């Protein structure tokens, strides 16, 4: 049996490999605290579960759903975008239901990238952007994200020859893994850059509702002329603690949305109608549960950052997402420090190298574990590795 050539360039998915290492330790009896994966520990709000239950009991939901998503779900998305961002969307032409936003993000290069085409991919960035490009036989071009630039790309540093060949530009703000944020002025610059070079901007806006200290992240579609050059992906996974439900959507440029829809009609049959009914309840129903969950993460952020700093780690105070992007101490790279935390303290974090070469000096911690587990993780880090974590290894 010979694996297809395209698969030879695809590394194992970061979190699948981490799962295997954690499982091996647990098999030895180690109590592993997992703060590596962005999977909310808080439950889905009850009114959403009730909507699913009611819809699932209706035999009308047991048949194939509309390929593009139910009319009710697409209308709910359009209404939510109008209320949240002031962006007007045509639910029939500019909204597409997805089986989670990851599915759509992974498929968009298949629609717009021919073999050899360049795709601009943030480094560090969500791994799916690069692997999806490779699967489409495109050429990823790593666009550096640097702390001195606020972990945002310097558009002027992208070589003109590269920009001319680029078909797609993946962006993600608020950002995974760095937790960086972007403002509307930056998005305006991106839209102008894309228009000059004929590039489709693919903006992953998954974390827009997880923000702190009164900050309200914008949508790329709020930028000048953004709909001419952009498609935005969103998900109910993080906002409504629905990661396992697999429901997301793509919105924006109608040609891009409809082209992605054409691909999807040929490879999947859409998301279960009852789950879409639950999505309608999420988007149109009371939002107090979202505010409560964000308040929980904000309080957890404050406590965890204080604890990690006391343990000797240079933990930042992010304005959005539930991630901490932490520089590794001297004498380590991201893999060796993550391994040290796992083996010495039984604490699993994500090594930054999994998000690109420029992530090698960092680890990512996710604020998605119960408070008591975080308290124990911080205690272990302070007791067992705190001394070596301090600058200079003191």
Nearest Cα neighbor of 364 from 385, 332, 335, 331 is 335
**Residue 308 and residue 378 in contact, taking contact as beta carbons nearer than 8 Å:** yes
The predicted-structure confidence for 22-58, as pLDDT tens digits, reads as follows 788 888 888 999 999 999 999 999 999 999 999 999 9
In 113-253, which ranges are continuous DSSP H helix?
127-135, 160-165, 184-197, 226-229
> Which CATH code for domain 46-284?
3.40.640.10
Give the mean pLDDT of 357-369.
Answer: 96
Q: Is the peptide bond before 346 cis (omega within 30 degrees of 0)?
A: no
The pLDDT assigned to 206 comes to 98
54, with CB counted inside 10 A (0-12, 13-18, 19+), is: middle
pLDDT band for position 386 (50/70/90)?
low
- For the whole model, what pTM was predicted? 0.94
Q: Retrieve residue 134's tokens.
A: 């490779």
Tokens 């309080």 belong to residue: 299
CA 134/CA 118 separation, integer angstroms? 10
The pLDDT assigned to 387 comes to 52
CATH 3.40.640.10 residue ranges of the chain are 46-284
CATH 3.90.1150.10 residue ranges of the chain are 5-44+288-388
The predicted-structure confidence for 315-330, as pLDDT tens digits, reads as follows 999 999 999 999 999 8
CA 250/CA 73 separation, integer angstroms? 12
Measured from the Cβ of residue 325, the count of other Cβ atoms closer than 10 Å reads 25
CA 329/CA 361 separation, integer angstroms? 9
DSSP state of 53: H
Is residue 9 over pLDDT 90? no
**Residue 170 and residue 119 in contact, taking contact as beta carbons nearer than 8 Å:** yes
The predicted-structure confidence for 180-232, as pLDDT tens digits, reads as follows 999 999 999 999 999 999 999 999 999 999 999 999 999 999 999 999 999 99
CA 303/CA 285 separation, integer angstroms? 31
The pLDDT assigned to 4 comes to 87
CA 340/CA 209 separation, integer angstroms? 33
The pLDDT assigned to 13 comes to 66
In 28-151, which ranges are continuous DSSP H helix?
46-56, 71-85, 101-112, 127-135
Q: Retrieve residue 319's tokens.
A: 């304005």
CA 307/CA 290 separation, integer angstroms? 26
In 238-363, which ranges are continuous DSSP H helix?
254-267, 273-284, 288-310, 334-340
- Map residue 190 onto helix, strand or coil: helix
Angle at 321 between CA 317 and CA 323, to 5 degrees: 65
The pLDDT assigned to 193 comes to 98
The CATH class of the 5-44+288-388 domain is alpha beta
CA 252/CA 259 separation, integer angstroms? 12
């Amino acid at each position: 049996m010979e694996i297809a050539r395209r698969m030879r360039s695809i590394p194992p998915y970061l979190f699948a490999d981490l799962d295997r290492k954690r499982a091996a330790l647990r098999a030895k009896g180690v109590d592993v605290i997992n703060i590596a994966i962005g999977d909310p520990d808080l439950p889905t709000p009850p009114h959403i579960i009730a909507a699913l239950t009611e819809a699932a009991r209706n035999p009308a939901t047991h048949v194939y759903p509309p390929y593009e998503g139910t009319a009710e779900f697409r209308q709910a998305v359009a209404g939510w975008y109008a209320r949240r961002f002031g962006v007007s969307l045509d639910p029939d032409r500019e909204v597409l239901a997805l089986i989670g936003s990851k599915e759509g993000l992974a498929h968009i290069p298949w629609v717009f990238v021919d073999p050899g085409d360049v795709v601009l991919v943030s480094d560090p960035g969500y791994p799916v952007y690069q692997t999806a490009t490779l699967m489409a036989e495109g050429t990823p071009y790593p666009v550096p994200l640097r702390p001195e630039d606020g972990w945002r790309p310097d558009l002027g540093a992208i070589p003109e020859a590269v920009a001319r060949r680029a078909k797609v530009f993946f962006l993600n703000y608020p950002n995974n893994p760095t937790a960086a944020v972007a403002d509307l002025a930056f998005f305006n610059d991106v839209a102008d850059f894309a228009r000059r070079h004929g590039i489709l901007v693919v903006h992953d806006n998954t974390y827009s509702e997880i923000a702190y200290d009164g900050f309200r992240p914008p949508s790329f579609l709020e930028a000048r002329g953004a709909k001419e050059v952009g498609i935005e992906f969103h998900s109910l996974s993080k906002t409504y603690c629905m990661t396992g439900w697999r429901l997301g959507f793509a919105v924006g440029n109608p040609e891009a949305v409809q082209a992605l829809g054409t691909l999807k009609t040929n490879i999947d049959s859409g998301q279960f109608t009852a789950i879409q009914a639950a999505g309608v309840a999420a988007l149109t129903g009371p939002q107090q549960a979202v505010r409560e969950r964000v308040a929980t993460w904000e309080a957890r952020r404050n406590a965890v950052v204080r604890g990690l700093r006391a343990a000797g780690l240079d933990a930042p105070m992010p304005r959005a997402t539930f991630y901490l992007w932490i520089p590794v101490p001297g004498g380590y790279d991201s893999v060796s420090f993550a391994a040290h935390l796992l083996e010495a303290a039984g604490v699993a974090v994500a090594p930054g190298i999994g998000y690109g070469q420029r992530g090698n000096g960092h680890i990512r911690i996710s604020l998605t574990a119960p408070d008591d587990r975080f308290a124990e993780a911080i205690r272990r880090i302070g007791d067992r590795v705190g001394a070596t974590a301090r600058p200079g290894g003191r």
